[in-house]
Amino acid sequence: EVQLVESGGGLVKPGGSLRLSCAASGFTFNSYSMNWVRQAPGKGLEWISYISSGGSTIYYADSVKGRFTISRDNAKNSLYLQMNSLRVEDTAVYYCAREITMIVVVNDYWGQGTLVTVSS
Amino acid sequence: DIQMTQSPSSLSASVGDRVTITCRASQSISSSLNWYQQKPGKALKVLMYAASSLQSGVPSRFSGSGSGTDFTLTISCLQPEDFATYYCQQTYSTPPTFGGGTKVEIK
């Protein structure tokens, strides 16, 4: 069974840092690209970052570029998101999502998310 | 970035109703359109991919159609477990973008 479990969320002050983790199991992690998607309270979904299966290709949303860093450790079946210079508007539930191509690119499995609250 | 506009933002329906949700892209995205279901406290679930392909394990009462800029998700006979929020997503170009969501509530 495919499982994605996020951790590392919490309360942090503006300007602070946080590192999120996503533990993957039930599939060959190093064969899949991964994404981070977030959802502010009561709002819709916002894609924020992508990393290819081997880690060589990375993309970021403009809203987090220069502040967030995505990475992965295929030996540990883990995905990470280092978040620096956090802002109040970064408050959201952060999801990791597996990516697969089935005719088109699809996020076929998602974690249940970890809540990040940025507040003074 | 490609903007995705979903309508309605919410709707009330009864068990057994036919429900249609629409999604419009700000430019042509061919058939690169996916639909997801979100329930409180649960992981998002993909329902449809490539506009009209049913994800394995998803009930056949769900269907999707459209190409280019206009897409629809239809639930043919609403069941109690279908009350949830639905999102469309385009993966035609980076960044992938989502519609604002449609909350399906019990009438």
Question: Tens digits of per-residue pLDDT, A29-76?
Answer: 999 999 999 999 999 999 999 999 999 999 999 999 999 999 999 999
Mean pLDDT throughout B56-63?
97
pLDDT of residue A85: 98
Distance CA B84, CA B81 (A): 8
Distance CA B37, CA A103 (A): 20
User: A108: phi > 0 → left, psi -120 to 50 → alpha, else beta; which?
Assistant: alpha
Sort strands B19-25 and B33-38 into parallel, antiparallel or unpaired: unpaired
Inter-chain contacts counted by CB atoms under 8 A, chains A and B:
62
Split at pLDDT 50, 70, 90, the class of B70 is very high
pLDDT of residue A45: 97
Nearest CA in chain B to A36: B96
Q: Does B68 touch chain A (CB under 8 A)?
A: no
SS3 state at A62 = coil
Please tell me which of the candidates B41, B45, B98 has its beta carbon nearest to residue A44: B98
> What sign for the dihedral angle of Cα A1, B83, A93, A33?
positive
pLDDT of residue B37: 98
Is residue B95 reached through a cis peptide bond, with omega within 30 degrees of 0 on the bond before it?
A: yes
Distance CA A24, CA B32 (A): 26
pLDDT of residue B107: 86
Are B46 and A95 in contact (CB < 8 Å)?
no
pLDDT per residue over A68-119, tens digit each?
Answer: 999 999 999 999 999 999 999 999 999 999 999 989 999 999 999 999 999 9
Residues of B with CB below 8 A from A44's CB?
A: 87, 98-101
User: Which among B29, B35, B44 is the top mutation candidate for probing chain A, defined by the most A β-carbons within 10 Å of its own β-carbon?
Assistant: B44
Res A8 pLDDT > 90? yes
What's the one-letter identity of residue A56?
S
In chain B, the percentage of residues whose pLDDT exceeds 70 is 100
Please tell me which of the candidates A104, A107, A108 has its beta carbon nearest to residue B32: A104
Split at pLDDT 50, 70, 90, the class of B106 is confident
**Token pair for A62:** 């403009």
Whether residue B99 contacts residue B25, with contact meaning beta carbons closer than 8 Å, is answered with no
Please tell me which of the candidates B45, B97, B101 has its beta carbon nearest to residue A47: B97
Residue with tokens 């540990």: A76
Q: Does B102 touch chain A (CB under 8 A)?
A: no
- The stretches of chain B forming alpha helices (DSSP H) are none
Split at pLDDT 50, 70, 90, the class of A12 is very high
Please tell me which of the candidates A35, A97, A104 has its beta carbon nearest to residue B31: A104
Give Cα separations from B15 to B10, B52, B78, B81, B104 (angstroms). Answer: 16, 23, 5, 10, 11
Res B12 pLDDT > 90? yes
Are B99 and A44 in contact (CB < 8 Å)?
yes
No. of helices (H) and no. of strands (E), chain B: 0, 11
Residue with tokens 């802002």: A87
Mean pLDDT throughout B49-76?
97
Split at pLDDT 50, 70, 90, the class of B41 is confident
